[in-house]
């Protein structure tokens, strides 16, 4: 026992892998600097395979089959107890219309599993060097032709964090930058998961300002962990300085709004708001706060509240 304790004390990183290949799952337990970390990768491609099999028998009820075979089953079997299970339902709510490439997207997941797991494991450990979250489950879903435009914009990967211990990743392996984008997206979503875990009360009381800063923190964290060129992060550099000023003046009266319709328009864009404008403003709030007060970077700044970040930034 003394020998074991000595090894644990002086070994910087000890990794113990437990791999389970039943049901398309891979789990890993890691002891990193004496901190036990756990992550698991679960592939959700089987639900899409069952969906394809079902519509080959009855193509007239495609939308209903999608809801039954994909949305409802995924939510009930994996996300019913997450903090934002209703958001997961919304994320999966839009039926798949274009199935032409879906079989290939499903097979792409099988072909790239080993590399996906390597990237996820590495990113999980690297993120924990900056911020602590000792347990996460990563869910991988197939790319969809319906989301091709978004996946192209984001370098091949889209992510969503429905709770403090769950991250959903959608990967288009046909986009050559997917590996780089996967690392960056994991870091972004990792920051979300940490914030949801640490400040659950704040995360239940959304305002437009909190949403701006929530996304700004995640982008700032991802940029710190995996720095990328501006051209590869379109959602945080989508506006000129003049456009940022104009958007800020437009949304300033609504900062305390809790209207999700406004959130979606501001963050993602609409006929009334520029594309990804909210992400750019949120990121700029965080970055200007760092510029004005660099000492923040030496703290657990992820948990600094939105009002404080606003006061420290150029947007106060």
Give the whole-angstrom CA distance, residue 224 versus residue 103: 36
Residues 243 and 293 in one domain: yes
Residue 61, token pair as written in the block = 């009820």
- pLDDT, one tens digit per residue, over 178-206 is 999 999 999 999 999 999 999 876 667 89
Residues 177 and 87 in one domain: yes
Q: Which domain holds residue 116?
A: 39-44+82-201
- pLDDT, one tens digit per residue, over 9-62 is 323 333 333 333 334 455 666 666 677 889 999 999 999 999 999 998 888 889
pTM of the entire predicted model: 0.89
Q: How many domains does the chain have?
A: 2
Specify if 60 maps to a domain: no
Specify if 57 maps to a domain: no
- pLDDT, one tens digit per residue, over 58-96 is 888 899 999 999 999 999 999 998 888 888 998 999 999
Residue ending a domain, among 164, 186, 201, is 201
Specify if 64 maps to a domain: no
Specify if 19 maps to a domain: no
Residues 182 and 244 in one domain: no
Q: Give first-to-last CA distance, the chain, whole Å.
A: 57
Residues 121 and 142 in one domain: yes
Residue ending a domain, among 140, 171, 201, is 201
Residue ending a domain, among 201, 225, 249, is 201
Specify if 280 maps to a domain: yes
Residues 218 and 253 in one domain: yes
**Rounded alpha-carbon distances, angstroms, from residue 125 to 37, 121, 183:** 8, 6, 11
Residues 224 and 279 in one domain: yes
Residues 109 and 181 in one domain: yes
Specify if 87 maps to a domain: yes
Specify if 103 maps to a domain: yes
- pLDDT, one tens digit per residue, over 143-173 is 998 888 989 989 999 999 999 999 999 999 9
| CB proximity list for 146: less than 8 A, separation 6 or greater | 94, 96, 97, 98
Specify if 33 maps to a domain: no
Residues 195 and 210 in one domain: no
Residues 189 and 269 in one domain: no
Residues 308 and 252 in one domain: yes
Which residues sit opposite 15 in a β-bridge? 30
Say if residues 216 and 252 touch (Cβ distance below 8 Å). Answer: no
Q: Could you identify the residue written with the tokens 């456009």?
A: 243
Residues 229 and 288 in one domain: yes
Residues 185 and 86 in one domain: yes
- pLDDT, one tens digit per residue, over 109-125 is 999 999 999 999 999 99
Give the whole-angstrom CA distance, residue 60 versus residue 33: 56
- Cβ-in-10-Å burial (0-12, 13-18, 19+) of 266 comes to buried
């Amino acid at each position: 026992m003394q020998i074991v304790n000595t090894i644990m004390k002086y070994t910087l990183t000890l990794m113990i892998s437990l791999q389970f290949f039943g049901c398309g799952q891979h789990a890993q337990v890691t002891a990193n600097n004496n901190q036990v970390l756990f992550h698991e990768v679960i592939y959700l491609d089987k639900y899409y395979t069952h969906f394809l099999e079902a519509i080959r028998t009855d193509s007239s009820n495609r939308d209903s089959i999608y809801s039954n075979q994909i949305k409802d089953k995924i939510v009930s079997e994996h996300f019913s107890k997450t903090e934002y299970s209703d958001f997961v339902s919304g994320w999966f709510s839009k039926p798949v219309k274009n199935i032409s490439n879906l079989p290939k997207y499903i097979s792409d997941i099988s072909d790239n599993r080993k590399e996906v797991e390597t990237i996820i494991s590495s990113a999980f450990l690297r993120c924990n060097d900056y911020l602590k979250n000792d347990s996460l489950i990563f869910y991988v879903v197939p790319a969809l032709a319906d989301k091709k435009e978004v996946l192209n914009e984001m370098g091949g990967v889209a992510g969503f964090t429905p709770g403090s211990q769950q991250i959903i990743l959608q990967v288009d392996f046909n986009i050559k930058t997917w590996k780089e984008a996967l690392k960056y997206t994991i870091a972004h979503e990792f920051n979300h998961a940490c914030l949801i875990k640490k400040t659950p009360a704040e995360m239940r009381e959304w305002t437009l300002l909190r949403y701006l800063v929530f996304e700004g923190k995640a982008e700032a964290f991802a940029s710190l962990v995996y720095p990328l060129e501006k051209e590869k992060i379109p959602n945080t550099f989508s506006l000129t300085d003049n456009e940022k000023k104009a958007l800020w003046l437009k949304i300033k009266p609504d900062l305390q709004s809790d209207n999700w319709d406004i959130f979606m328009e501001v963050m993602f864009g609409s006929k009334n708001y520029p594309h990804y404008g909210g992400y750019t403003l949120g990121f700029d709030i965080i970055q200007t706060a760092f510029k004005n007060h660099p000492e923040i970077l030496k703290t657990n700044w992820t948990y600094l509240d939105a009002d404080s970040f606003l006061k420290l930034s150029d947007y106060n």
